[in-house]
Amino acid sequence: MQKDYEVFEPGNEHLARVIVRILEERGYRAGYQIGYPNNKVFITVETKEEADRISEIITKFMEKSNLTERGMTTDRFNKLTSKLGSLIPKTSKRA
């Protein structure tokens, strides 16, 4: 049975939307919740382990690339989000 699992806490709504779009492009059912003090991105998958793998990919990428950094050019942002999308494995399962 598929469940929603939190995979990331982005710093703002724009980044939450981008991550959800990337996850959906990779075949996941994803969404986000706006909240104070943290926003949350969720995916619907079979196991917590699968969600944890995706969460680890996103978290490590964000830390390494400083994607949440303010003042980033649109070109750099687009290149980084494209790279993140290529790191997340595709899924054939759709909820």
pLDDT tens, position by position, 37-82: 789 999 999 999 999 999 999 999 888 877 655 556 667 777 777 8
Q: Is 27 left (phi over 0), alpha (psi -120 to 50) or beta?
A: left
Residue 93: both structure tokens together = 């399962």
H helices of 26-73, in order, are: 48-65
Kindly state whether residue 93 falls inside one of the protein's structural domains.
no
92 domain-assigned: no
Asked if residue 5 has pLDDT above 60, the reply is yes
Structural domain of 13: 3-87
Give Cβ neighbours of residue 35 (< 8 Å, ≥ 6 apart).
none
pTM for the model stands at: 0.78
pLDDT reported for residue 76 = 73
Residue 95 lies in a domain: no
Residues sharing a CB contact under 8 Å with residue 21, sequence separation 6 or more, in sequence order: none
Higher pLDDT: 12 or 5? It is 5
- The structural domain count of the chain equals 1
